[in-house]
Structure 1
Amino acid sequence: MSAAPPVPPGLAWRQVDVFSREPLGGNGLAVFPDARSLDAPRMLALTRELRQFESIFLTPGPGPGTARARMFTVEEELDFAGHPVLGAACVLHEALGAAAPQDATWTLALNARAVAVTTRRAQSPLGGWYEAEMDQGAPQFGPPLDADTDTARALLRAQGLDADDLVPGLPLQMVSTGLPYLLVPLRRGLERARPASADFAALLGAVGAHFCYPLDVAAREGRSFDNHGLLEDPATGSAAGPAGAYLVRHGLAAPGRVLTIRQGRFVHRPSEIRVRVEGPPEAPARVLMGGEVAMAARGVFD
């Protein structure tokens, strides 16, 4: 086995917890504020070293309030993700120092597109945190997938579910605001939902999805895993936005109102993700997704 690529001495990172007001909750994230000296193999190696669900690497953009961002899981680089964008924008806000305005606006250039993020510095007796919201753009919907099809049965079976676990009358459906998720509307069985099939990624790919998001519709609580079912994500902004769009599209939530999607209960990292879907239910114009961000720790590589 070859050695991991070397890391430039003095490389700093900031640890934040997204979708939580207090450290050690929500979804942990490593933010590298200055990654100009890193290439993709080093970024992947650093993500594996820190073992966060995702890490994000920033380089300066062409003007104030802008940055180039690359995001990695321990397996791959992602073109889009939710909680890394929110956490990175809050780290940029913090870096402005004590004289920074309470509110700030950022544009992060991702691999596929640029996203706008707003941040606000908050304060409480427990200390400071930030609030962040990103514009995920207009959601894209795949064809509805009826539960009685062979494809739906295979997808359900591959994660320990069956058609009786679904909300009657609601389809499985791919929804994307940058990363395509298969929404699975559940009335029960969320605690059992976990990928357990070697071909799960291929099953998702056949319906245009990259990942799956089982959603307890009544509780508005979801779960998200890697496609091997080995690692559960405490909070998934790139899935919560599509989940909100799905609920609005099918008449289960009103456009323009804030929805709270809960996640992380099963990994003892309770998280709350706020989603607002604007535009008519049949063709939402954009999805706004956000939450609170706690600053947790900082470090420097030797």
Structure 2
Amino acid sequence: MPSHRYVVADVFTDTPLTGNQLAVFTDARALDDATMQALALEIGFSETVFVLPAEAGGTARIRIFNPLAEMAFAGHPILGAAFVLGAPLQLGVVELETGAGIVPVALERDESGRLVFGRMRQPVPRVEPVSAPESLLAILGTQRSLLPIELYDNGARHIVVTLAAESEVAALRPDGPALGRLEVTGVNCVAGSGTSWRSRMFWANGEDPATGSAAGPIACHLARHGLVGWGEEIVIRQGVEIGRPSTLHARAEGGGGLIDAVEVGGAAVVVARGEFRL
């Protein structure tokens, strides 16, 4: 009976049992699409990664599945997979082939050689206005957004809503079924100032503890509308309300309303290893 090994990592944290959970199948060559999807549902994390041989000059190709469908791009699976692959390969940069192109992840080590941080260069998002923003605010249970409500598409589709205070973000109790009917990856509600920000991301499956694919767009949104400087790194705290506190670092480079580059970073820690026998 074939066995399929996987690693569990907590991502955007350096503390086990916090951050966003991720399963990484390190050799998925024997798995077909239906089995990958079934394994992602069986595990039940927000995403599961399947590693395959590179096809376009990267270090490896990865496929990302949530419990319902395959995803072209997602942040914490890319960072977590880079940590899992980078440790044994002793690489300084891991280039992962995704459905949204090759994403390089630069890895940092401490004096002992242990991986402690990674920074991914994300696809530059396309920005779109959101129709009927008042309806979205009603779904979220809040009155107004400080900045225009916009959608950022970097392979995932994220709406960014900016609230006046972190207490407003913490108090949100959105209409889950209505959110699930939106044709987006997630709705991200943020508040803060300077380089310190709080975020909650709501999607069809509830609330996400750490959303790397949204952290870059959040930095873009704040820079485009003048709340942070272009090139300034912000720190985003997420997952507090659901008991999985996470820390994400993000910055956007650009000017004149145009985005040139996006970088998102954080830590990850391996917490378990196992195998499926199918």
Equivalent residue letter for 2:239: G
Are 1:115 and 2:103 an aligned pair? yes
Give the corresponding residue for 1:106.
94
Give the corresponding residue for 1:196.
175
Structure 2 Cα separation of the partners of residues 14 and 281 of structure 1: 43
Query: Normalising to structure 2: TM-score of the pair?
Result: 0.90
Helix, strand or coil for the counterpart of 2:107? strand
Structure 1 Cα separation of the partners of residues 35 and 48 of structure 2: 12
CA contact (8 A) 1:28 1:53 kept: yes
Provide, for residues 268-300 of structure 1, a one-character-per-residue CA deviation record: whole Å limited to 9, x for no partner: 111110112112151120100010111111111
Match of 1:184 among 146, 161, 175: 161
CA contact (8 A) 1:18 1:293 kept: yes
What residue ranges of structure 2 are gaps of 5+ in the alignment?
none
* TM-fit CA distance, 1:159: 2.1
Give the corresponding residue for 1:260.
235
Match of 2:119 among 125, 133, 148: 133
Provide, for residues 205-242 of structure 1, a one-character-per-residue CA deviation record: whole Å limited to 9, x for no partner: 4xxx4421111243511111222xx5321100001110
Equivalent residue letter for 1:222: S
Alpha-carbon spacing, 1:281–1:270, altered in 2? closer, same or farther (3 Å): farther
- Aligned alpha-carbon RMSD (Å): 2.2
Larger radius of gyration: 1
Per residue, is there more strand in 1 or in 2? 2
CA contact (8 A) 2:37 2:67 kept: yes
Give the corresponding residue for 1:211.
186
Give the corresponding residue for 1:90.
83
* TM-fit CA distance, 1:29: 0.6
- Shifted more, 130-139 versus 71-80: the winner is 130-139
Equivalent residue letter for 2:246: S
**Number of equivalences:** 273
Provide, for residues 100-139 of structure 1, a one-character-per-residue CA deviation record: whole Å limited to 9, x for no partner: 3xx5212211123221111223368xx9443111111323
CA contact (8 A) 1:194 1:225 kept: no
Are 1:279 and 2:254 an aligned pair? yes
Match of 1:222 among 188, 191, 199: 199
What residue ranges of structure 1 are gaps of 5+ in the alignment?
1-7, 146-150
Equivalent residue letter for 2:101: R
Structure 2 Cα separation of the partners of residues 250 and 178 of structure 1: 22
Give the corresponding residue for 1:160.
141
Equivalent residue letter for 2:119: E
Provide, for residues 26-45 of structure 1, a one-character-per-residue CA deviation record: whole Å limited to 9, x for no partner: 11110111001112221121
Alpha-carbon spacing, 1:250–1:66, altered in 2? closer, same or farther (3 Å): same
Equivalent residue letter for 1:177: N
Equivalent residue letter for 1:143: P
Structure 1 Cα separation of the partners of residues 83 and 187 of structure 2: 28
Structure 2 Cα separation of the partners of residues 129 and 162 of structure 1: 43
* TM-fit CA distance, 1:201: 4.6
Helix, strand or coil for the counterpart of 2:121? strand
Give the corresponding residue for 1:75.
68
Structure 2 Cα separation of the partners of residues 239 and 226 of structure 1: 12
Structure 2 Cα separation of the partners of residues 15 and 259 of structure 1: 27
Are 1:297 and 2:272 an aligned pair? yes
Are 1:143 and 2:136 an aligned pair? no
Structure 2 Cα separation of the partners of residues 194 and 28 of structure 1: 23
Give the corresponding residue for 2:152.
175
Structure 2 Cα separation of the partners of residues 157 and 114 of structure 1: 38
Helix, strand or coil for the counterpart of 1:24? coil
Alpha-carbon spacing, 1:123–1:235, altered in 2? closer, same or farther (3 Å): farther
Equivalent residue letter for 1:58: V
* TM-fit CA distance, 1:199: 4.2
* TM-fit CA distance, 1:73: 1.0
